Amino acid sequence: MEVRDKLYIDGAWVVPERSETIEVFDSTTEEVMGSVPAGTPADVDRAAKAAHGAFGEWSRTSVAERTKFTSRISEALGARMSDIAALIAREVGMPLSLAMLIQAGLPIGTFASMSEIADQVAWEERVANSLVLREPVGVVGAITPWNYPLHQIAAKVAPALAAGCTVVLKPSEVAPLNAFLLADVVDEVGLPAGVFNLVSGTGPVVGEAIAGHHQVDMISFTGSTGAGRRVSEVASATVKRVALELGGKSANVILDGANLKKAVSTGVTMCFLNSGQTCSALTRMIVPRSALAEVEQLALEEAEAAKPGNPFEQSTRLGPLASAEQRERVRGYIRKGIEEGAKLVTGGPEAPPGLDRGYFVRPTVFSDVRSDMTIAREEIFGPVLSIIPYDTEEEAIAIANDSVYGLAGAVWGSDPERATHVARRIRTGQVDINGGSFNPLAPFGGFKHSGHGRELGRFGLEEFLDTKSLQL
C-alpha cells in the first residue's frame, strides 16, 4: 500500500489544504494499492505562484545547465526502472515486459534526449536587421492521462524544463503514483525550488483550476476530446496557449497485394497494445473486399493468441484495463457493435474465462463494419478491432479520412511508392508505412479532433517557446 499524503510545491513536500484523498486501484486485483491527495484550487494557486516566482531565474539559466538537470532526472529514473515498470503494470495493466520497455523506458529516454534535442533549436538567428530569439513561454500547466502515465508526463515536463519553463503537473487520478515517484527524483537531483510542482486531484477541480489560473501561461493537455474542449474553454478566459493531444480512431489501410499475414498480425498487435488503451491504436483495419475472409481468419488467430492474463506472468500478452469504469465502457461498445449488426469474429462483452476479478475484457474482432457504425466512429480505448472492407483504392482513402479524428494510421502495400502515395493522402499526424517503427524523436500529434500542437523531439520542445525579434 503506497500512501502519498503530501503535494510537491516550491521544492518541498507540503500538506495539502484538505485531508480528502483519492484511492488508487490495482487493475488486476481490483484492490486499493495506494492513495494520493485530492488537491484543491488553493493548492493549485500555491503551485502556480511558486512556478511563477521561479520562472525568472530558471528561464535565464543556460540551456546546458537546464539539460544537465534533465539528464540527472533520466539517470535517477533509470535506477528505478524496475520499480517504475512494476508500479505502472499495477496501475494500468500493461504486461511487465512491455512496461519495462515502454512505460519505464520511453520516459527515461525522453529526459535523456533533451541535451541533444536542445542543440537542434535555433535559439537565436539573424533575419536582415532583426535578431530573432526563442524564449520560454512561461509557467506550463501539464495535465496528463492514465494510459501511458509517466511517458506522457515526460513528453511535457522534460521539454518544458529544457525550454526554460516552470511546471505545474496534474497527473491522472487513475494512475498518479508514478508522478509522485518522479517528484521524488526531482527533489533528489536538486532541481531549484518552484521549477517543478505536483498537485494531484480530479480534472473538474484541479485540472480546471490550472487551466484557468492567471499565472499559468500555457496548458499542455493529453486526454479525451471532450475534456480537451473543456480545457480550451476554461483556458480561453486568460488567452493562454493550449496544446492538445486528444483521441484517435486510426485507420490501418491494407492495399491489394500487401503481405496479408504480416499486415494483419502487426495491425492486431498495434490495435491491442496496452489492452487497446492507446490513443494512436490502429482500431480500423481497412481491407480489400476480395481478401476479407482471409483477413478475418488471420485476425481471429491473432486475437485468440492474445489471451488476457496477469501482467506479471511472463506469457501474458494482454493485461486488464485501467479501471472498472473503462471496463464497462468497452463492454458497452462491444454490445453496441453487436446490436448495430457488425459481424462478431471473436470475443464479446462477457468476462474472459477464469478472469472474473480484475478489469479484463475479451480481445474482440468485428468484421463487415460500416463507417456509420458507432464502433467505427467513436474511440473505444479497449482491445476492439473493426474490419472494414473496400472495393477501390479511392474508397479506402475515403474511409480512412471519414473520421473526426486524425492522430495516427498505417498503410501496407507491396509497392512502397504506392503505399507512400496513399499515406500522403491520409489526413492524420503520423502514418506507419509497411510496419515503420515508432520514432520517439519524430513529432507526435493530430489533425482535426485529435488536437493541435506536437510532442516529442525538437518539435515537442519548440511547443514551449515564444518568438521575439529585436530590430537592430
In 3D space, the residue among 249, 320, 289 whose CA is nearest the CA of residue 88 turns out to be: 320
Contact (Cβ atoms closer than 8 angstroms) between residue 37 and residue 23: no
Q: Percentage of the chain with pLDDT > 90? A: 99
Q: What is the three-class DSSP state of 9?
A: strand
User: Which pLDDT does position 253 carry in this prediction?
Assistant: 98
How confident is the model over 39-83, as pLDDT tens digits? 999 999 999 999 999 999 999 999 999 999 999 999 999 999 999
Answer yes or no: 294 catalytic.
Answer: no
Question: What angle in degrees, to the nearest 10, is found between the helix axes of 81-92 and 63-79?
Answer: 70
- At residue 244, does pLDDT exceed 90? yes
The catalytic position among 173, 245, 379, 462 is 245
The Cα 360–Cα 363 span in angstroms is 9
In 3D space, the residue among 77, 163, 92, 242 whose CA is nearest the CA of residue 460 turns out to be: 163
Q: What is the average per-residue pLDDT within 178-188?
A: 98
How confident is the model over 93-124, as pLDDT tens digits? 999 999 999 999 999 999 999 999 999 999 99
**CATH architecture designation of domain 2-246+450-471:** 3-Layer(aba) Sandwich (3.40)
Q: Where in the chain is the domain with CATH 3.40.605.10?
A: 2-246+450-471
Q: Which amino acid is at 406?
A: G
Answer yes or no: 279 catalytic.
Answer: yes
In 3D space, the residue among 33, 92, 31, 85 whose CA is nearest the CA of residue 277 turns out to be: 92
How confident is the model over 127-164, as pLDDT tens digits? 999 999 999 999 999 999 999 999 999 999 999 999 99
- At residue 14, does pLDDT exceed 90? yes
Q: Which amino acid is at 292?
A: L
Sheet strands side by side (includes 32-37)? 2-3, 32-37, 21-25
pLDDT band for 329, please (50, 70, 90 cuts): very high
Which residue in this structure is represented by grid cell 479501471?
Answer: 323
The catalytic position among 271, 279, 455, 462 is 279
Contact (Cβ atoms closer than 8 angstroms) between residue 209 and residue 44: yes
Least confident of 259-273, 302-316, 400-414: 302-316
The Cα 173–Cα 144 span in angstroms is 10
Distances (CA, A) of 86 to 43, 45, 225, 300, 358: 29, 33, 29, 30, 16
Q: Where in the chain is the domain with CATH 3.40.309.10?
A: 251-439
Q: What is the three-class DSSP state of 432?
A: strand
Least confident of 186-190, 354-358, 388-392: 354-358
Widest CA span of the chain, in angstroms? 73
User: Which pLDDT does position 164 carry in this prediction?
Assistant: 98
DSSP 142-171: EE--SSSHHHHHHHHHHHHHHHT-EEEEE-
Contact (Cβ atoms closer than 8 angstroms) between residue 210 and residue 168: yes
Burial of 78 (0-12, 13-18, 19+ CB in 10 A): middle
In 3D space, the residue among 455, 17, 44, 43 whose CA is nearest the CA of residue 211 turns out to be: 44
The Cα 267–Cα 269 span in angstroms is 5
How confident is the model over 185-229, as pLDDT tens digits? 999 999 999 999 999 999 999 999 999 999 999 999 999 999 999
Q: What is the average per-residue pLDDT within 218-243?
A: 96
Contact (Cβ atoms closer than 8 angstroms) between residue 408 and residue 445: no
User: Which pLDDT does position 263 carry in this prediction?
Assistant: 98
State the pairing for strand pair 432-433/409-412: parallel
Which residue in this structure is represented by grid cell 510542482?
Answer: 197
- At residue 448, does pLDDT exceed 90? yes
The Cα 457–Cα 472 span in angstroms is 32
Q: What is the average per-residue pLDDT within 314-330?
A: 95
Q: What is the average per-residue pLDDT within 1-6?
A: 95
Contact (Cβ atoms closer than 8 angstroms) between residue 93 and residue 27: yes
Query: Which CATH number is associated with domain 251-439?
Result: 3.40.309.10
Least confident of 281-290, 348-357, 402-411: 348-357
Q: What is the average per-residue pLDDT within 283-294?
A: 98
User: Which pLDDT does position 122 carry in this prediction?
Assistant: 95
Which residue in this structure is represented by grid cell 511487465?
Answer: 96
User: Which pLDDT does position 70 carry in this prediction?
Assistant: 98
Burial of 313 (0-12, 13-18, 19+ CB in 10 A): exposed
- At residue 388, does pLDDT exceed 90? yes
User: Which pLDDT does position 45 carry in this prediction?
Assistant: 98
Using alpha carbons only, give the angle 225, 229, 234 rounded to the nearest 5 degrees: 145
- At residue 356, does pLDDT exceed 90? no
In 3D space, the residue among 39, 41, 20 whose CA is nearest the CA of residue 209 turns out to be: 41
